[in-house]
Homo-oligomer: A and B are copies of this chain.
Amino acid sequence: MKAAIFGGKGIVNIGERPDPVIRESTDAIVRVVRSCVCGSDLWYYRGLSPRTAGGPIGHEFIGIVDKVGKDVKNIADGDFVISPFTYNDGTCINCKKGWQANCIHGGVYGTGYVDGGQGEMVRVPLADGTLVRVKQTGFSEEKLRSMLALSDVMCTGHHAAVSAGVKEGDTVAVVGDGAVGLCAVIASKRLGAKRIISISRNPSRQKLAREFGATDIVPERGDAAIQKVLELTDGFGADAAMECVGTGESMNTAFGIARVGAVVGAVGVPHEVRVPIETAIFRNVGLRGGIAPARKYIPELLDDALSGRINPGRVFDMQTDLEHIADAYKAMDERRAVKAILNISDI
């Protein structure tokens, strides 16, 4: 089969990998319909996170089940499925408590013996625990995109909002205008936030943030952004702050714009982040979040995505295919695209 292969800093190739086979009786093989490139893929693409060259990549996909192992009960050949970006058994203590991305027996796609999502086929371990079957059929391209967004970014943005405790009537602020930050705007609106401040300096992302529900745009960064959000909130700060970048500056901004007693919902993969502990302690600002339990959230968000009440698929502003995946990484690296979708096969 064809699959994307990491070739080292700045290099993504399309290559051949063995067609996946059932290795464990709990596996499923999924033919990928749509996949995409994640902001977190850019960390190793840019050489900022270590990653050995030569292996498969990508962790977001939707597709059709091709084959299942003999112990798979909930999923059958031909089912249309959404996979969260991590696989999980659904039965361990962490899964049972709702932390499926921290499954004791789970992991992330594209590591070890597990295929990446950016390829024609994926062996999904622990298929019963992992995959979410979608019963409806005849999806429009728009709905396919929104379901693909549930694989990671929409659930991660939702996790930022849930972790920050966003509730009805709140004034909230989102640091980061990438796909996750934009999804945090969607999630905040869905959870009832009245005022949503998006910190974004990119005109097309500002526009999308507004369409998703942002009521205020702050183009400043760092201390200037903090100052601006405080001005917008009578000097008190936001009821909930979301950190959707993963840098030291963005974490600092998120704490700086959080009101006394608020929580920063942080979902950015951290790179040289120092939590401003003095703000945390002296202003009682909390920190929650982390890798999102997408497997928990997908069923919660699916109806809204299918009905169009939320449209997270709109974060995809570039469409290409496996053959041109290098272009997708390049466009995202250069911030010409928010997020690139890959058309792998027809439904």
Contacts and interface: CB of A to CB of B under 8 A. Distances in A.
A284 B291 contact: yes
Contacts of A277: 251, 270, 273-275
A284 B275 contact: no
A282 B291 contact: yes
Contacts of A251: 277
A102 to B, nearest CB: 4
B290 A263 contact: no
Contacts of A285: 290
A261 interface: yes
A281 B266 contact: yes
Interface residues of A, number: 36
A269 to B, nearest CB: 7
Contacts of A283: 102, 290
A93 interface: yes
A288 B290 contact: no
A207 interface: no
Contact of A102 (B94, B97, B260, B280): B260
A251 B274 CA distance: 13
B261 A98 contact: yes
Given A266-B281, A286-B286, A260 B99 contact: yes
Interface in A283-300: 283-291, 293
B260 A94 contact: yes
A346 interface: no
A98 B259 CA distance: 13
A131 B280 CA distance: 26
Nearest to A103: B260
Interface string A94-135: 100111011000000000000000000000000000000000
B284 A102 contact: yes
Contacts of A278: 270
A236 interface: yes
A167 B97 CA distance: 15
A288 B165 CA distance: 13
A251 B269 CA distance: 21
B280 A284 contact: no
Given A99-B261, A102-B261, A270 B281 contact: yes
A286 B266 CA distance: 10
A287 B284 contact: no
A260 to B, nearest CB: 4
* For the complex of A and B, 9 pairs with smallest distance between CB atoms: A284-B290, A275-B275, A286-B288, A102-B260, A287-B287, A281-B290, A99-B261, A270-B277, A273-B277
10 contacts: A93-B236, A99-B260, A102-B261, A102-B283, A102-B284, A273-B277, A274-B274, A274-B277, A275-B275, A281-B291
Given A266-B281, A270-B277, A274-B274, 18 more contacts: A93-B236, A94-B260, A97-B260, A97-B261, A101-B284, A102-B283, A263-B288, A270-B278, A270-B280, A275-B275, A280-B290, A282-B291, A284-B289, A284-B290, A284-B291, A286-B289, A287-B287, A287-B288
